């Protein structure tokens, strides 16, 4: 099985940096947001070690504010 090729999306194959940004955004907006709301946190900061960062905070009206950035090497 080690000889099998890994299946990639078109973005991963042709523009891997953009695909990584999409994965980070999807993670922040789904899994991380669910964790933040599920544990009823007031603030949360994430960093993946590759320059991608996200900050979550509760707003006064009970909403969630999310700021996230991603770094891409060209």
Looking at the DSSP bridge assignments, the partners of residue 44 are 56
> b/e per residue, 36-52, with b = 16+ CB within 10 A?
beeeeeeebebeeeeeb
* pLDDT at residue 13, rounded to an integer: 66
Residue scoring higher pLDDT (9 or 63): 63
The per-residue pLDDT for 71 is: 79
Condensed to tens digits (0 to 9), the pLDDT of residues 1-60 reads: 455 667 665 566 677 666 666 788 899 999 999 999 999 999 999 999 888 999 999 999
Q: Is the pTM of the predicted complex or chain greater than 0.85? A: no
Three-point CA angle 28, 11, 66, nearest 5°: 15
Residue 61's pLDDT is: 95
């Amino acid at each position: 099985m080690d000889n099998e090729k890994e299946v990639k999306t078109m973005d991963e194959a042709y523009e891997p940096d953009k695909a990584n940004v999409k994965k980070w955004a999807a993670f922040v907006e789904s899994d991380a947001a669910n964790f933040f709301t599920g544990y009823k946190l007031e603030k949360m900061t994430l960093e993946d070690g590759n320059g991608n960062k996200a900050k979550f905070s509760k707003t006064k009206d009970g909403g969630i504010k999310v700021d996230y950035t991603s770094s891409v090497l060209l």
